[in-house]
Structure 1
Amino acid sequence: MAEWDTLIRQGRRADLLARLHGLVQEKNLLASLPEAPRAHLQAARVVADKQATAVAWEVRKIRAAIAHTGAPLILLKGAAYCMAALAAGRGRVFSDVDILVPRQRINHVEAALMLHGWVATQHDAYDQRYYRTWMHEIPPLLHIRRLSVIDVHHAILPETARLRPDPALLLAAAQPIADEPGVYTLAPADMVLHSASHLFCGEFGHGLRDLSDIDLLLREFGTVAGFWDGLVARAQSLDLARPLYYALHWATRLFATPVPPIVLREIDACARPSTPVKTLMNALLQRTLAPDHASCRDALSVPARALLYARAHWLRMPPHLLAYHLAHKALFPPRAATN
């Protein structure tokens, strides 16, 4: 029971309890679990299933709100996995709905959403400029009644980032979701690459869950003819070969994802980091891809997370802009809300 207690705590911190429930159920082992752990897993699955139902409702509301704008509704990450009925969507929990629209339509989409009850969550002039000038999205929008949050993106990485995947390539390859007219996801390879870039160019608050997403996407799409043949080439065309390198190697390392050896050799040939960088990143990722729980930490876990947090900002902005941004945040911290 002590081991179960640790597992449940780790799974909750990693947002993987509902997914663990699905795995145990798939193996027909649920009835053999001790009563207390089984109750935790079942409760997590109930919450995840309720959220999936709520997200489907929310996506249809968003679709109706932006229908007249001429912009396609392309779902990203968790909402995409759920609405497309992918294995990565079962038991997946998330806090907002991420969508991708063409940049030239983003103002129309924002206006349409605001007419249907969504409002801006960032009112500080600097934060507005930060999002609209430098980032790949507008400030998050909150629905005044349902309290749902939408992140409206025009790209998958910031305008100022070192890696610059062309949004036009992603938009052109988007695929419709069956039985959801007007709603799309990224193409299978692009879904994997977006998940990889989100994890390995960003922060690691949900690192193990995000790597689990990649594992499940690769397992499902890997059975489709031609997927593996074109994955590395697509990563190169989108300037995302390095994130894919980390995604493939760490998925195989932690989840035993069945990546063909030829694909690993192909990504090694074009994106493998230098030996010092690889050694350092392995040490950092070994710690930050574990659940953020006391049972998984060692003396270097906190410094490792801090270094990868700094790396995420370094990849997101050039040095002069990063220095300006950090100085502004240090000199003008956000004020507490007042009535």
Structure 2
Amino acid sequence: MTSAACKRLVSILKTPTQATQLDLSEWSQLVAGARSANLAGLLAERIAAAGITVPAEATRHLEALRQLSRRQTQSVRWEVHGLQRALSQLGIPVVLLKGAAYAVSDHPVGRGRLFGDIDILVPRNALGDVELRLMVAGWTSAKASPYDQRYYRTWMHELPPMVNVRRGTVLDVHHTILPLTSRHSPDAETIIRAASALPDLPAVRIPRPEHLLIHSIVHLLHEGELHNGLRDLFDIDGLLRTGASEADFWPRVVDASRTLDVVAPVAFGLHLAAHLLDSPIPPHVLADMRNAAGGPASRLLTMLYTTAIRPENEAAESPAATLARFAIYVRAHWLRMPPHLLLRHLAHKSIVRLKKDEPAVEGRA
């Protein structure tokens, strides 16, 4: 987040009235950066809410983005109703995660958010029945290779991604929030039991505010892919700002972090939000989390994320961001797997990549 363009995007998302100072070229750069960071819908909503005068050329783009965000939100809600029909007879809670949870609960973080896939969390002992019901409803696995199937089913926290054969929608079915081989072992049942039911969707649940925040943080810090890193950071900022309106929110965050065995990542995630977005986190909360995590946030890790989190169009042109992202990618895999599994997995992926790069041989099928 070191470039002037990225800093301007962040600053205007936080204080939209600053956009009145932009000329047309800067508006063009702002919208392009927001699109690249997957924050264009949020930018459009915040500019509209501020009621400021916007050049006509930018207005067309921003209004189109607002409409796109709203259509995507409607599509997500429609898909969730389909999941209700497909899974309700199992008699299990289906907990929505991340974007789907924001969209269906009309959470402020969902306003202007652009969506990719849909994430749900179900009890692990129901995975087989859930997968079967989803297949009957038109979902199929997006991973064909036996290795990928084994990788997800043996080591990961989710089934292989599923794609709807009619609509192309991607669904991630989680049974916990971190890989089974991770150095942290969160108890997903804690999140499932505490989730709130929806009146018109009896099978569907929304996580507690502290669990939404914690999952967003661990996703950002353990995923290893930062193409949506800035968007995810703004999700975290919005979740903590909304949650903080509840008097006991911060004690619940601290307690839930301990219960779920994710104190260290949550402590660093809160530090990162305060450091990069000036998120309003009480100093005593940061101190309590820092002490529980065993010490202050790593300066090196802070520097890596500060360098790496930026719109994709900027990251691609920055050797420093590329290097920082690679270091974060390696760290994420190190957190996901013990060394022997990590070496085996990376070796397999390298071989597969080399085979794909081999020139075609005439006469081979």
TM over 0.5, yes or no?
yes
Displacement of 1:148 after TM fit?
1.2
User: Which of 134, 139, 154 is the matching residue for 1:118?
Assistant: 139
CA shift at 1:332, angstroms?
Answer: 3.0
Residue 319 to residue 67, structure 1, CA distance change in 2 (3 Å):
same
Residues 44, 62 of structure 2: 8 Å contact kept: yes
Q: What is residue 98 of structure 1 aligned with on the other side?
A: 119
Q: Could you report, residue by residue, the CA deviation over 1:278-312 in whole angstroms, capped at 9, with x for unpaired residues?
A: 11112101112222223896441110011001111
Deviation of 1:161 (Å): 0.7
Q: Match for residue 271 of structure 1?
A: 293
Normalised by the length of structure 1, the TM-score is 0.94
Q: Distance in 2 between matches of 1:315 and 1:165?
A: 14
Whether the aligned pair in 2 keeps the contact of 1:18 and 1:42 (CA below 8 Å) is no
Report the equivalent of 2:314. Answer: 294
Name the counterpart of 1:254. Answer: 276
What are structure 2's unaligned runs of at least 5 residues? Answer: 1-23, 358-364
Partner of 1:225: 247
The 8 Å contact of residues 13 and 291 in structure 1, kept in 2 or not, is answered as yes
1:1-339 equivalence runs, <5 A = 1-29=24-52, 32-203=53-224, 204-271=226-293, 273=295, 278-294=298-314, 298-333=318-353
Structure 1 pair 159–41 and aligned structure 2 pair: CA distance change class (3 A): same
Deviates more, 1:65-74 or 1:107-116: 65-74
Give how far 1:223 is off: 0.4
Deviation per residue, 1:247-270 (Å, 9 max, x gap): 212222232222112111111211
RMSD: 1.8
CA distance in 1, matches of 2:356, 2:323: 28
Larger CA deviation: 253-262 vs 287-296: 287-296
| Maintained 8 Å contact 2:96/2:204 | yes
Q: Please tell me whether the aligned partners of residues 73 and 184 of structure 1 are also in contact (alpha carbons under 8 angstroms).
A: yes
- Taking the aligned partners of 1:136 and 1:163, their CA distance within structure 2 comes to 12
3-state SS in 1 of match to 2:205: strand
> Cα–Cα, structure 1 residues 36 and 281, in superposed 2: closer, same or farther, change >3 Å?
same
CA deviations over 1:97-147 (Å, ceiling 9, x no partner): 100000000100000010111111111111110010000111111111111
Pairwise CA distance, 1:201: 1.5
TM-score, scaled to structure 2: 0.87
Q: Could you say which residue in structure 1 is the equivalent of 2:4?
A: none
Q: Percent identity?
A: 40
Cα distance in 2 for residues equivalent to 1:173 and 1:86: 18
Residue 230 (structure 1) shift:
2.0
Residues 264 and 6 from structure 1, CA distance in 2 versus in 1: closer, same or farther, beyond 3 angstroms? same
